[in-house]
Amino acid sequence: MGIFIFFVCAFILTLDILGKINVMGRIPRFLCMLFLPQVIILCGAAAKAGKHGILSFPGFASAGIVLLYAYLLVRIHLFPVRRVASCTRRIKILLGGKIILSCSLWGFLMQGIFYILLFTGHLSPLDRLFAGSPLLYTINVIHSISFLFLILLNGQARILFTCYRLGIVRRLLIVLNLWIPFINLFLMHYLGKKAAEECDHEMCRFSNRAARANSNQCATKYPLVMLHGIGFRDLRYFNYWGRIPKELTRNGAVVYYGHQEAWGTIEENAAFVQHKIEEILAMEHCEKVNIIAHSKGGLDARYLITHLHMEQQVASLTTVSTPHMGSELLLILNRIPDRIYRLISSRFDSAFRKIGDCHPDCYHASKQLSPEFCRQFNQATPNSDSVYYQSYASVMGHCWSDSLLSIPHLFMSLASHGKPNDGLVTEDSAKWGIFKETFQNKYRRGISHGDMIDLKREDYKGFDVIETYVDIVTDLKNMGF
Reported as a single tens digit per residue, the pLDDT across 93-120 is 998 999 998 888 888 888 888 777 767 7
Instruction: Give the pLDDT score at 132.
Output: 46
232 versus 53: the higher-pLDDT residue is: 232
Distance (Å, whole) CA 194 – CA 201: 11
Please check whether residue 426 is in contact with residue 329, taking contact to mean a CB–CB distance below 8 angstroms.
no
Phi, psi of 138 (to 5 degrees): -60, -45
477 versus 354: the higher-pLDDT residue is: 477
For residue 367, count CB atoms less than 10 angstroms from its CB and return exposed for 0-12, middle for 13-18, buried for 19 or more.
Answer: middle
Cα 217 to Cα 184, 210, 234, 473, 476: the distances in Å are 45, 12, 25, 8, 10
Over range 161-190, report the average pLDDT: 83
Strand (E) or helix (H) holding 255: strand 255-257
Q: Which of 80, 82, 100 is CA-nearest to residue 151?
A: 100
pLDDT(328) > 70: yes
pLDDT(167) > 80: no
Over range 278-287, report the average pLDDT: 94
Over range 439-463, report the average pLDDT: 85
Cα-to-chain-centroid distance, residue 424: 22
Radius of gyration of the chain (CA): 31
Instruction: Give the pLDDT score at 438.
Output: 94
Please check whether residue 296 is in contact with residue 329, taking contact to mean a CB–CB distance below 8 angstroms.
no
Please check whether residue 481 is in contact with residue 468, taking contact to mean a CB–CB distance below 8 angstroms.
no
Amino acid at residue number 396: M
Please check whether residue 453 is in contact with residue 438, taking contact to mean a CB–CB distance below 8 angstroms.
no
pLDDT(84) > 70: no
Please give the share of the chain, as a percent, with pLDDT higher than 70: 91
Instruction: Give the pLDDT score at 254.
Output: 94
Instruction: Give the pLDDT score at 184.
Output: 80
Phi, psi of 214 (to 5 degrees): 65, 15
Q: Return the C-alpha torsion angle 44, 48, 54, 55, nearest 10.
A: 50
Cα 22 to Cα 9, 111, 274: the distances in Å are 14, 23, 60
Q: How do residues 200-210 score in pLDDT, each as one tens digit?
A: 888 877 777 77
Instruction: Give the pLDDT score at 123.
Output: 60
Query: Which pTM was predicted?
Result: 0.76
pLDDT tier at 422, thresholds 50, 70, 90: very high
